[in-house]
Structure 1
């Protein structure tokens, strides 16, 4: 059962927001990056989630950055929480979502006693389609311009297929063509560009900057194309939606 609200303001340890919680905490669990700017962008996203949603929102990382989920869970327990919803900040059901995330949740639960409910990933559904559309609108990309949707990529073919499907659905909404390419698997950007015209808007399916976006930045500089920023703060409503859905499904109050 969820515990009482803390009697004091929760600290900002482990990337937490400074708002008073109104229910189970929210932990945004990201992959992690060696790029400090990427870590800070995730922290900023969770700060926005916390302030806009009125929830104690914290960050945790699977790898390459700190804190890990067990550290964040311990900070929540110290702040008076007994339950939290972990929202994996992932767009596809690949190895991290199916193996790393459940393992991290099990370890954090065993180490701290925090009741953890795992939400769905961000995914590539209708709300993520709205998210990438909002990114194009924010950058004022003309509707007739072609778009390259750039994702990390996976050894899991189904995960990559989900990104291609997202690109196809976005393609049906725009006069300009939309194609997907990946940073770590085929098809790579060079293989997809012949299908697109000039100019191309480069749209990362990333929440934060990182090393994998550097080749895309170099391409933008070389061609004079628009490189859209990572989705970042635009994803705050989606993260809050996953938190609310998990609370409703689990009965957490």
Structure 2
């Protein structure tokens, strides 16, 4: 029987807290899928995919699903991931199968909803959904549509804002504040797997204005990662 594994391939960050939540995510994924699951990174954080594949081969793994821990089909998903997977899998004796990205489907939306509920955020508060952003307009549009769907499910206003492109939180917030109940409080919801440098300004904004801020999605994405890997492995 072919021995299989799962690798969650994240972008990576210089933020010191990036690895812990992703390690927790992959541990939870391993438990759900009943298969070894490891984390690897495209850039800025170790280990890289080449290192992880080497470890899997040493452990006797013959086939692995690589799940890109990305929410949009932008440059990293279309270019960096295929190139990294191809390089890591060359002449290694381990068949690497690239799974679908996390994306912005209903399964991820349910994870975000659950985090908002767990945070005890009042149902009438508007939501600012905060994502990295991309130079690809279609990727940003997917996040904006995701925010509108989240607002539709909650029955309140919801808008997307980005860390690297427009619209920025400062642009979107006035509209959301105008829709907020007395006090003008807005819930800040990051569409991030783990902490990153781009989240630090949002944390400052939450502290300065007294806005609730939900944590990155982390281990709660385990059912999504396991499902992507299972589909890829057939």
TM-score bin (small chain): over 0.9
Match of residue 198 from structure 2: 212
SS in 2 for 1:172: helix
Match of residue 121 from structure 1: 101
Match of residue 15 from structure 2: 35
Flag structure 2 segments of 5+ consecutive residues without an equivalent.
178-183
Q: Once the 2 structures are TM-superposed, how far is the Cα of residue 110 of structure 1 from its aligned partner?
A: 0.8
Q: Once the 2 structures are TM-superposed, how far is the Cα of residue 111 of structure 1 from its aligned partner?
A: 4.8
The answer to whether the 8 Å contact 1:91/1:122 transfers is yes
Summarize the alignment of residues 75-90 of structure 1 with structure 2, pairs less than 5 Å apart: 75-90=55-70
TM-score scaled to structure 1, two decimals? 0.88
Q: Does 1:201 align with 2:181?
A: no
The answer to whether the 8 Å contact 2:22/2:193 transfers is yes
Moved beyond 6 Å, runs of 4+: none
Q: Does 1:232 align with 2:218?
A: yes
Q: Once the 2 structures are TM-superposed, how far is the Cα of residue 52 of structure 1 from its aligned partner?
A: 3.0
1:176 to 135, 142, 156: 156
Deviates more, 1:41-50 or 1:91-100: 41-50
Q: Does 1:165 align with 2:151?
A: no
Q: Once the 2 structures are TM-superposed, how far is the Cα of residue 173 of structure 1 from its aligned partner?
A: 1.3
CA distance in 1, matches of 2:153, 2:90: 46
Summarize the alignment of residues 185-200 of structure 1 with structure 2, pairs less than 5 Å apart: 185-197=165-177, 198-200=184-186
Q: Does 1:156 align with 2:142?
A: no
CA distance in 1, matches of 2:94, 2:119: 41
The answer to whether the 8 Å contact 2:32/2:226 transfers is no
The answer to whether the 8 Å contact 1:70/1:112 transfers is no
CA distance in 2, matches of 1:220, 1:67: 32
CA distance in 2, matches of 1:195, 1:57: 42
Match of residue 123 from structure 2: 143
Q: How many residues align?
A: 228
TM-score scaled to structure 2, two decimals? 0.95
Q: CA RMSD in A?
A: 1.1
* Larger RCO (CA within 8 A; separation ≥ 6): 2
CA distance in 1, matches of 2:91, 2:82: 14
